[in-house]
Amino acid sequence: MRKSVIGLTLGLLAAPAAAQAECGEVSITEMNWASAQVVTTVASFIMEQGYGCDVTVVPSDTVPAVTSLAENGEPDIVTELWLNSTGEAYLQLEEQGKVERVAQVLDPGGVEGWWIPTYLAEEHPELKTIEGVMANPELVGARFNNCPSGWGCRVVSDNLIEALDLEESGIEVFNHGSGETLATSMASAYQDGNPWFGYYWAPTVPLGKFDMTRVDLGEYKEDIHKANGSQDNENPGVSDFPAAPVLTSITTDFKEREPEIAELMSNVTFKTSTMSSLLAWKDENNASAEEAAVYFLTHNKDVWSGWLSDDARERLSKVLN
């Protein structure tokens, strides 16, 4: 599998653009995490092979990307922009008419929550709610696997723990020292068929690899959740986690210059669960972002074909068949 994927990757990436130069130069970010690298590689390949663009990939991160947009009006396309990490700077650019969000690249977005293995939820359906978990602490191993110190999710979860009086129900709170130990605890429990209860988020390798069920924490309440994000919250409340908007944005100048590519990028959306599964495949096969992109393109034609114009769809189908 790995050799054939590598061969196909090299063949595709080395191939000349299938389309004539119908669009000009395009610059697109590649954020420094795995899902964003896959998104950028897929989008770049489609732009090059389907639309004839000359694509430049710009390695970046959230803050540098927004800063570059503000100061230089580039790159043309910023994808996997997590809105809850951009602060007011990005919103100001939208208000000034310099950028425009064209898609939610992850659907429903970045997913956070408290989880249990699905095999546990199927055996004990009452554990699907936080009330059921707290009434049966022994069924989840009497432990909550908390976020590492310094992470935003740690602050929110600590406030939820206090608001719920979780420890009084007989559940120990185990504060992980790193993301690696948090992931390892889930993997170890799942592989042995043991209970596990804790925080995690998607898209990630573990939630692509392991079938997990999100515990219902009740209604999402915007004001309470926002207050729970502060370490100085004197009155924590209970609110579920909202899906975090994860955007593709383009400059308004680019939209005027390349309307067809702007239309394309408005269609490029991955289900969050699909991306988690893709990351799990990438991890299991020790694959590169390019190989993961080829795997997605060759196994999900029904998804990406709907993103393209008729001409581009025909060109890509010839390249990928």
Q: What pLDDT, on the 0 to 100 scale, is given for residue 2?
A: 28
Give domain status of residue 3, yes or no.
no
Q: What pLDDT, on the 0 to 100 scale, is given for residue 8?
A: 42
Q: What pLDDT, on the 0 to 100 scale, is given for residue 14?
A: 44
Specify the CATH number for the domain of residue 62. 3.40.190.10
Average pLDDT over residues 209-222: 97
Specify the CATH number for the domain of residue 214. 3.40.190.100
pLDDT bucket at 3, cuts 50 / 70 / 90: very low
pLDDT bucket at 34, cuts 50 / 70 / 90: very high
User: Is 148:178 a contact under the CB 8 Å cutoff?
Assistant: yes
Q: What pLDDT, on the 0 to 100 scale, is given for residue 318?
A: 85
Residues 193 and 161 in one domain: yes
Domain residues for the domain of 59 are 25-108+245-320
Residues 118 and 216 in one domain: yes
What span, in angstroms and rounded, lies between the C-alpha atoms of 128 and 268? 33
Residues 143 and 185 in one domain: yes
Average pLDDT over residues 144-170: 95
Average pLDDT over residues 167-171: 98
Contacts of 289 (CB under 8 A, 6+ apart): 34, 37, 38, 40, 41, 282
CA dihedral 53→58→60→63, nearest 10 degrees, is -70
Q: What pLDDT, on the 0 to 100 scale, is given for residue 7?
A: 36
Average pLDDT over residues 306-321: 90
Q: Above pLDDT 70, what percent of the chain?
A: 93
Instruction: Name the one residue in this structure whose structure tokens are 């390019």.
Output: 290
Residues 266 and 165 in one domain: no
Contacts of 165 (CB under 8 A, 6+ apart): none
Residues 118 and 201 in one domain: yes
Summarised one tens digit per residue, pLDDT across range 294-304 is 999 999 999 99
Residues 97 and 115 in one domain: no
Residues 104 and 183 in one domain: no
Q: 203: cis peptide before it, omega within 30°? A: yes
pLDDT surpassing 50 at residue 292: yes
